[in-house]
Amino acid sequence: MRILVVEDEKGIANFIHDGLKEEGFAVDVAGNGILGLELAQTNDYDCLLLDWMLPGLSGIELCRALRKENSSVPIIFLTAKDTVADTVFGLETGANDYIKKPFDFNELLARVRVQIRSAEDGNNILQCNDITLNPDTHQVIKNQKEISLTAKEFSLLEFLLRNKGKVCSRTRIIEHVWDMHFDADTSVIDVYINYLRKKLDPAGEKKYIETIRGAGYIMREWQ
């Protein structure tokens, strides 16, 4: 899942970036509203975290601009403003949620997960065949046994599971699992898919992740 953070205070931006990355998210950071809007318009993010007061274009203006273009990306405001009127105003511009600074990272993480979840089907536990993934506890279980994955492997599996039954192209995988500093060499995805296959099924007996030639990868229920 890929997140855009638009925040001009470097310390806060780094804190959020590092924390989310550790949780397996792909994270891009913009230090001003204009770059933030540009990135939001060109990439397919799963959630936006917008500071309220930003140089160039405020968080409110950025949010309005995206909603005007009919973008439905979940938007969470980060702000020191905490009066009731400000909250209402922020939500009226089309934001989905609002977090007051200073905030606890776990609170931010929980709010992000709520947004990603409601953008999908409302169920947080992801499952396919005998594999279960819990984004909140970061656990992957197969036949009552936990499978240990790296952050990137976890993130890749989460994306495939969220798209269960649909073919995921390498381009879409890159867009949602890697950040903008990634040099777009799609062969790295094949490498990670192989890591994941080996961890899910060391004996290589079952098809957890199928390759669809010329199209990408899919996870689906066995018939």
Q: Which residues bind Ca ion (CB under 5 A)?
A: 8, 51, 53
Assigned token pair, 122: 């409302």
Residue type, 193: I
Place of tokens 């010329």: 214
Could you give the 3-state DSSP secondary structure of residue 196? helix
Give the integer Cα–Cα distance in Å for 210 and 174.
17
**CB closer to Ca ion out of 6 and 219:** 6
Contact 190, 213 (CB under 8 A): no
**CB closer to Ca ion out of 8 and 61:** 8
Place of tokens 């499952």: 127
Closest approach, Cβ 207 to Ca ion, in A, equals 49
Closest approach, Cβ 181 to Ca ion, in A, equals 23
Give the integer Cα–Cα distance in Å for 44 and 1.
10
**CB closer to Ca ion out of 53 and 212:** 53
**CB closer to Ca ion out of 58 and 87:** 58
**CB closer to Ca ion out of 51 and 179:** 51
Closest approach, Cβ 80 to Ca ion, in A, equals 8
Place of tokens 């799963």: 46
Place of tokens 């922020």: 90
Give the integer Cα–Cα distance in Å for 4 and 124.
21
